[in-house]
Amino acid sequence: MDDILRKLVAFPTITGDQTAAHEAIDYIASFVVARGMHVERFDSNGYESIVATTHPGEKHPKVLLAAHLDVVPAPDEMFDLRLEEGRYIGRGALDMKFAIAAYLQVVDNLRDTISDYDLGVMITSDEEDGGKNGVGPLVAEGYAPKVCILPDGGDNWQIQLSAKGFAYVKIAAYGKQAHGARPWLGDNAILKLMRIIAEVQKLFPKIDASTNTLNVGQLSGGQAPNQVAGYAEATLDIRLVRESDRQKILGDITKICEQHDAEASVTMSGPVCTFDLNNPLIKPFTQLVQEVTGIVVQGSHALGGSDARYFAAKNVPCISLYPTGDGHHSPDEWLDEAAFYQFHEVLERYIQQIAKR
- Every domain of the chain and the residues it spans: 2-163+273-354, 168-270
Q: What topology is assigned to 168-270 in CATH?
A: Alpha-Beta Plaits (3.30.70)
Binned at pLDDT 50, 70 and 90, residue 303 comes out as confident
261 near 174, Cβ under 8 Å?
Answer: yes
First to last CA, the chain: 26
Mean pLDDT of 16-40: 98
Q: Going by DSSP bridges, is the β-strand pair 87-89/119-124 parallel, antiparallel, or unpaired?
A: unpaired
Percent of the chain with pLDDT over 90: 96
Helix intervals (H) in 234-279: 246-259
176 and 230 Cβ atoms separated by less than 8 Å: yes
Stretch 271-275: mean pLDDT, rounded? 92
Residue 37 confidence (pLDDT) above 90: yes
- Least confident window among 27-41, 76-90, 293-307, 341-355: 293-307
Cα dihedral 176, 181, 183, 186, rounded to 10, equals -20
> What average pLDDT does the segment 115-119 reach?
97
Statement: residue 304 has pLDDT above 90: no
Taken in order 331, 337, 341, 343, is the CA torsion positive or negative?
Answer: negative
pLDDT cut 70: percent of the chain above it = 100
Q: Tell me what pLDDT residue 307 has.
A: 94
Q: Does domain 2-163+273-354 have CATH number 3.40.50.970?
A: no
The span from the CA of 105 to the CA of 28, in Å, is 11
Give 259 or 304, the one with higher predicted confidence.
259
Measuring CA to CA, which residue among 92, 103, 79 is closest to residue 31?
103
